[in-house]
């Protein structure tokens, strides 16, 4: 039995007809699926063609074009103005805009208190519907710090926006400010003055001393501020004034550095009268030459189109001026020329009747001439020393250079040769000799002997003159 069980059972042989039948079934099923897919695909294409044709009829039909345009406009409006989570009748989108430097004003008892620590401006952010935000941003609102009813000391208050629509929300940054209220005191000050806009006044006019209706004013502010005030000035506007005038001048308080101080000045203006004059003086014009004419030539004559000029300045300045100068660089002259040069106005002179002159310059051959035995002078013997000249040399020779006519016109007594004793000390010393060059002279002077030997005794004689001739 065991041996029989261990023997392999014979395989059942497959039927060829069964395999053929199975293959036919599979082929029929595949053909059926293919037909179904083809039918579905054909139906889908028919639907798409029908929808496309309908869309073409709607979009390109003149009867429906207005309706389509309206629909697209509504869709665009909804896209721009509404959230995706809202329907057509939902809430509009919110907008925000930040504005900077909004002015801050304080409300408090200005008669009793002075305020410090208040910033001049703050920033705000406006939130709301877009159109409302834009409208509010164009309004001229302010931020108010309300301190009414508060007493002296430090206080923190909220900044409240005013002047804006109620349809928006406004956030202030910073929302709070800390300020200090100080009680005011009263002090009395003298009135000074400043002329303003002098650049808008004709320079030929001079302003006299103002005459005020009153000379003192009261200033009301905190004690600390009152102590910082150095002076009160009336600001007198002199725009285009040409004669005596009166005006109400504004009063301003200043500290020691000249910085304006915020304080209540009672009254804050003063009536003032100001005299206006036009002091002037007519003085000659002198030509001051420098350098040397090239090629051995010299200036023969200078003829000016104006010999004098009227200058305008204060009386004190005019009293010190006897002439005005015009400079001419001789080294630029190579032939007879007409030269236009500006007039050099002395310090303190505001204006002049002319600002420049025309000069006709004639040249001639230069010649030299020696002036003999020109006396020597000393100057600035501030120590009043007694002294003597070695070898009793009290005169020197001076060389002149110019045209023949000009050098011949010079006399020895017209020439001044000197040495300066400002730094003299007792003992033997050598001093430099100098010769004065007259203003406007067309002749050049030079000393043939550059120095002089002097013995200073060291004795002081109060009768000795500081500047005198030694011959």
Distance CA 108, CA 352 (A): 56
Average pLDDT over residues 455-465: 77
Pick the CATH number of 280-365 from 3.40.640.10, 1.10.760.10, 2.70.150.10, 2.170.120.40: 2.170.120.40
Task: Find tokens 């309300």 and name the residue.
Answer: 146
Q: Which residues contact 453 (CB under 8 A, 6 or more apart)?
A: 389, 390, 391, 393, 428, 429, 430
Q: What are phi and psi of 349, to 5 degrees?
A: -80, 125
Shared fold status for 94-174 and 186-276: yes
SS3 253: strand
- 367-469 adopts what CATH topology? RNA Polymerase Alpha Subunit; Chain A, domain 2 (2.170.120)
Instruction: Give the pairing of strands 142-146 and 153-162.
Output: antiparallel
How buried is 73 (Cβ within 10 angstroms: 0-12 exposed, 13-18 middle, 19+ buried)?
Answer: exposed
Distance CA 177, CA 181 (A): 13
Q: How many helices (H) and strands (E) does the chain have?
A: 7, 32
CATH number given to 186-276: 2.170.120.40
Average pLDDT over residues 394-398: 91
Average pLDDT over residues 329-351: 93
Two tokens, residue 369: 């001439």
pLDDT tens by residue, 356-374: 999 999 999 999 999 999 9
Q: How far is CA 286 from CA 12, 327, 367, in A?
A: 151, 9, 24
Looking at residue 215, the DSSP 8-state letter turns out to be: S
pLDDT tens by residue, 107-166: 988 888 888 899 999 999 999 998 889 998 898 899 999 988 888 899 999 999 999 988
Of 424, 435, 430, nearest to 458 (Cα)?
424
pLDDT at 387 over 60: yes
Residue ranges of domains in the chain: 94-174, 186-276, 280-365, 367-469
Beta bridge partners, 246, equal 273
In this prediction, residue 7 carries a pLDDT of 45
Q: What angle do CA 400, 403, 408 make, to 5 degrees?
A: 60
Task: Report pTM.
Answer: 0.53
- 94-174 adopts what CATH topology? RNA Polymerase Alpha Subunit; Chain A, domain 2 (2.170.120)
Task: Find tokens 């000045």 and name the residue.
Answer: 265
On whether the CB atoms of residues 420 and 377 are closer than 8 A, the answer is no
Higher per-residue confidence, 51 vs 257: 257
């Amino acid at each position: 039995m065991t041996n029989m069980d261990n023997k392999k059972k014979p395989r059942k042989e497959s039927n060829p007809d069964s395999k053929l039948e199975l293959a036919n079934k599979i082929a029929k099923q595949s053909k059926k699926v293919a037909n179904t897919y083809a039918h579905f695909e054909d139906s889908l294409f028919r639907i798409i063609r029908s929808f496309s044709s309908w869309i073409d009829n709607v979009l390109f039909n003149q009867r429906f074009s207005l309706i389509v345009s309206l629909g697209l406009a509504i869709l665009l409006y909804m896209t721009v103005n509404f959230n995706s989570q809202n329907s057509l009748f939902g809430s509009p989108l919110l907008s925000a805009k930040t504005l900077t430097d909004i002015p801050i004003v304080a409300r408090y008892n200005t008669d009793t208190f002075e305020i410090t620590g208040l910033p001049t401006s703050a920033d705000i952010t406006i939130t709301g519907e877009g159109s409302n935000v834009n409208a509010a941003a164009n309004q001229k609102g302010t931020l108010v710090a309300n301190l009414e009813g508060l007493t002296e000391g430090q206080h923190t208050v909220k900044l409240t926006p005013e002047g804006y629509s109620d349809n928006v929300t406004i956030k202030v940054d910073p929302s709070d400010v800390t300020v200090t209220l100080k009680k005011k005191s009263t002090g009395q000050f003298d009135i000074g003055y400043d002329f303003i806009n002098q650049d808008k006044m004709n320079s030929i006019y001079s302003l006299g001393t103002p005459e005020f209706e009153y000379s003192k004013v009261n200033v009301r502010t905190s004690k600390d501020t009152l102590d910082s005030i150095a002076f009160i000035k009336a600001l007198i506007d002199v725009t285009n004034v040409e004669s005596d005038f009166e005006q109400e001048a504004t009063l301003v308080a200043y500290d020691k550095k000249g910085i304006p101080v915020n304080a209540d000045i009672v009254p804050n203006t003063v009536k003032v009268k100001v005299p206006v004059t036009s002091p002037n003086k007519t003085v000659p014009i002198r030509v001051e030459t420098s350098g040397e004419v090239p090629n051995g030539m010299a200036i023969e004559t200078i003829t000016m189109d104006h010999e004098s000029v009227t200058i305008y300045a204060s009386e004190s300045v005019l009293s010190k001026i006897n002439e005005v100068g015009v400079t001419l660089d001789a080294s630029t002259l190579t032939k007879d020329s007409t030269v236009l040069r500006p007039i050099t106005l002395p310090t303190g002179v505001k204006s002049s009747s002319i600002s420049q002159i025309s000069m006709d310059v004639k040249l001639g051959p230069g010649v030299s001439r020696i002036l003999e035995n020109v006396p020597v002078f000393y100057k600035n013997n501030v120590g009043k020393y007694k002294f003597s000249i070695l070898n009793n040399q009290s005169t020197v020779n001076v060389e002149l250079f110019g045209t023949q006519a000009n050098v011949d016109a010079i006399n020895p007594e017209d020439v001044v040769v000197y040495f300066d004793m400002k730094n003299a000390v007792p003992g033997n010393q050598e001093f430099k000799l100098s010769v004065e060059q007259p203003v406007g002279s067309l002749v050049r002077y030079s000393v043939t002997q550059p120095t002089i030997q002097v013995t200073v005794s060291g004795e002081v004689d109060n009768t000795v003159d500081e500047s005198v001739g030694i011959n």
